[in-house]
């Protein structure tokens, strides 16, 4: 792989000088220095960038990302990582140029587009990210567009090269499908060395590679060793993996506690308490509160939501366990309501999940909930199939903890989301902790306000018990808006009382039209522009 196609101004001038004089002439000049003498090789770098969260949310709602050939994506529709970065460090200008391995494809069959990024590059001297980009209109209405070294974002380069602010370019808008991206803030960019070399170079520079030019003397730059061009201190790890270390540690449940029970709980019995942590789906949460749905997420009934539109924690578990048979059934209190696409006081999207229930048997099981959409409630909808990393249920200090349980959307769950996600789609992982005795100490579930959630006050979730319009998170807001109480009463209507397949689509025709039209605006803008019409 070539180091890079674009060079900083300082290096470009040096190369031009070398070409003008000729290699033979340079060889005859006593004490002359070639352009490459100012460069030191770099290797084993990783670039992490999410492009823009709203773009990931849009693609995640109606399509998918596929990362390959050295690229990967963080869980929960997170940022992308490109690996095996190689390049050079200019010891004179103190700039780096790196090229990374990896291929990223964003595609939506529904909206008929496919965008491929390869050959991602970072040039700190120019302060930009570039990539080779191919955009395909799979309907065939517009021709395929290809570009090499397309500048996707300007970068506010820092010495540490972590969490650098980015600004998307006009070209990014052209290739990603929305002119509104031009000049918009992108996700932060991080470039770090992942694998230090086993042997140190003997002729390398004595200054630390940094992403920021300096006007000081080279001798004033911080050094990491007499001959090491690479930082030897531990580099920051991938920022997408950092939050995981901030949560409660499973070890916390095994430490001694003044209130720990004197004797272990029996191998089977009734659950005394417990919590369930689940974010439903990160892209869905972002979509609801984003610029398309312009809605809010509200928790009630004892549930809490983590800050920053984070995951939810449902509490006060009841159920049964059998550690010998590795079986667990637990039901949790609390509700979460997603509301958006408001028009004239009526919401096209109004979905409440409550009474969540998790079952595990030998490591596999289901996650179900009562679903209330637009005033119509269906009980016991199996939203996801669960698969734990281990089939063993072991209690420590009378607490069973099962974290990072994979959740896969079922066919019934897909209908609960109006078929906007296909069955088999990966949802956010599930964290379970259940207490087997009254004295057991549960890990802190985190989260915030048990009533307000994101942008609203408390309310009763799931419709009214008398069959009327119920409130769901937010003073005076109604589930489903005016005239959507059909089948909405708890116990009223056969589907609500029997737990049969959810009336579909659960979000209703109005919600389906609103969401598809709203989320399709980005693609529609690109289509209009390609057809020579003015974009809004």
- pLDDT tens string for the chain (536 positions)? 444 444 444 344 433 433 333 333 333 333 334 445 578 999 999 999 999 988 998 888 778 999 999 999 998 889 999 999 999 998 888 899 999 999 999 998 878 899 999 999 999 999 999 999 999 998 888 899 999 999 999 999 998 899 999 999 999 989 988 888 899 999 999 999 986 545 444 444 444 455 554 444 344 333 333 334 444 333 333 333 333 333 333 333 333 333 434 457 788 899 999 999 999 999 899 999 998 889 999 999 999 999 999 999 999 999 999 999 999 999 999 999 999 999 988 998 999 999 999 999 999 999 999 999 998 999 999 999 999 999 999 889 899 999 999 999 999 999 888 877 889 999 999 999 999 998 888 887 544 443 444 443 333 333 333 333 333 333 333 223 323 332 332 222 222 222 333 333 334 433 443 443 333 333 333 444 444 433 33
Taking alpha carbons only, the member of 261, 355, 343 closest to residue 317 is: 355
Q: Which two tokens stand for residue 28?
A: 């005859």
Same domain, 83 and 170: yes
Cα pseudo-dihedral 154, 156, 159, 160, rounded to 10: -90
**Residue that finishes a domain, picked among 196, 213, 239:** 196
Whole-Å CA distances, 68 to 37, 48, 169, 238? 35, 14, 25, 18
Do the domain assignments include residue 475?
yes
Do the domain assignments include residue 536?
no
pTM, rounded to two decimals:
0.44
Do the domain assignments include residue 270?
yes
Count of beta carbons in the 10 Å neighbourhood of residue 446 = 17
Same domain, 317 and 404: yes
Q: Are 268 and 429 in contact (CB under 8 A)?
A: no
Q: Identify the DSSP state of 240.
A: G
Q: Identify the DSSP state of 264.
A: P
pLDDT at 408: 96
Do the domain assignments include residue 33?
no
Do the domain assignments include residue 110?
yes
CA dist., res. 377 & res. 485, Å (int):
9
Same domain, 362 and 440: yes
Which residue is associated with the tokens 């309501």? 337
The pairs formed by 242-251 with CB atoms below 8 angstroms and a separation of 24 or more are 247/446, 248/443, 248/444, 248/446, 250/401, 250/403, 250/443
Burial class (CB in 10 A: 0-12, 13-18, 19+), 532: exposed
Same domain, 509 and 407: yes
Q: Are 383 and 410 in contact (CB under 8 A)?
A: yes
Do the domain assignments include residue 139?
yes
Same domain, 387 and 472: yes
Same domain, 165 and 285: no
Count of beta carbons in the 10 Å neighbourhood of residue 487 = 19
Same domain, 165 and 302: no
Same domain, 184 and 268: no
Q: At a CB cut-off of 8 Å and minimum separation 6, what does 441 contact?
A: 253, 257, 259, 260, 397, 399, 435
Do the domain assignments include residue 127?
yes
Domain span at residue 457?
264-521
Same domain, 174 and 316: no
Same domain, 180 and 304: no
Q: How many domains does the chain have?
A: 2
């Amino acid at each position: 792989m070539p180091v890079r196609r674009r060079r900083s101004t300082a290096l470009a001038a040096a190369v031009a000088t070398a070409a003008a004089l000729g290699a033979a002439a340079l060889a005859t000049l006593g004490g002359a220095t070639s352009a490459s003498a100012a460069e030191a090789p770099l290797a084993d770098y990783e670039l992490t960038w999410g492009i823009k969260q709203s773009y990931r949310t849009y693609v995640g709602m109606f399509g998918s990302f596929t990362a390959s050939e050295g690229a990967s994506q963080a869980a929960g529709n997170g940022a992308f990582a490109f690996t095996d970065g190689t390049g050079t460090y200019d010891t004179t200008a103190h700039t780096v140029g790196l090229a990374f391995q990896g291929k990223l494809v964003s595609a939506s069959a529904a909206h008929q587009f496919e965008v491929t990024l390869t050959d991602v590059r970072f040039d700190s001297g120019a302060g930009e990210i570039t990539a080779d980009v191919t955009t395909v209109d799979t309907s065939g209405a517009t021709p395929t567009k290809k570009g090499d070294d397309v500048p996707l974002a300007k970068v506010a380069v820092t010495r540490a090269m972590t969490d650098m602010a980015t600004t998307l370019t006009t070209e990014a808008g052209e290739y990603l499908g929305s002119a509104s991206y031009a000049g918009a803030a992108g996700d932060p960019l991080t470039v770090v060395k992942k694998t230090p070399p086993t042997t140190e170079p003997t002729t390398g520079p004595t200054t630390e590679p940094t992403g920021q030019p300096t006007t000081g003397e080279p001798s004033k730059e911080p050094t990491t060793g007499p001959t090491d061009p690479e930082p030897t201190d531990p580099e920051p790890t991938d920022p997408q993996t950092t939050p995981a270390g901030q949560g409660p540690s499973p070890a916390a449940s095994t430490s001694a506690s003044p209130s720990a029970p004197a004797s272990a709980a029996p191998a089977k019995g009734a659950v005394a308490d417990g919590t369930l942590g689940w974010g439903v789906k990160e892209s869905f949460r972002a979509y609801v509160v984003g610029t398309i749905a312009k809605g809010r997420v509200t928790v009630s009934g004892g549930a809490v939501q983590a800050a920053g539109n984070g995951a939810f924690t449902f509490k006060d578990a009841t159920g049964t366990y059998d550690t010998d048979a590795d079986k667990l059934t637990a039901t949790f209190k609390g509700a979460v309501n997603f509301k958006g696409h408001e028009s004239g006081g009526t919401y096209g999207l109004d979905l409440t999940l409550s009474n969540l229930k998790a079952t595990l048997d030998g490591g596999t099981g289901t996650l179900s909930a009562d679903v209330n959409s637009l005033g119509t409630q269906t009980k016991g909808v199996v939203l996801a199939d669960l698969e734990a990393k281990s089939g063993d249920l072991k209690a420590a200090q009378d607490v069973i903890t099962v974290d990072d349980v994979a959740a896969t959307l079922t066919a019934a769950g897909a209908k609960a989301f109006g078929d906007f996600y296909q069955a088999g789609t990966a949802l956010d992982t599930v964290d379970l902790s259940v207490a087997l005795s009254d004295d057991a100490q549960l890990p802190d579930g985190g989260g915030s306000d048990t009533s307000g959630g994101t942008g609203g006050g408390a309310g009763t979730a799931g419709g009214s018990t008398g069959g009327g319009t119920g409130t769901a998170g937010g003073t005076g807001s109604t589930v489903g808006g005016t005239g959507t109480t059909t089948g909405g009463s708890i116990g009223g209507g056969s589907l609500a009382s029997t737990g049969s397949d959810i009336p579909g689509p659960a979000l209703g025709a109005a919600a389906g039209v609103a969401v598809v039209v709203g989320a399709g605006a980005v693609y529609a803008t690109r289509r209009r522009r390609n057809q020579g019409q003015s974009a809004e």
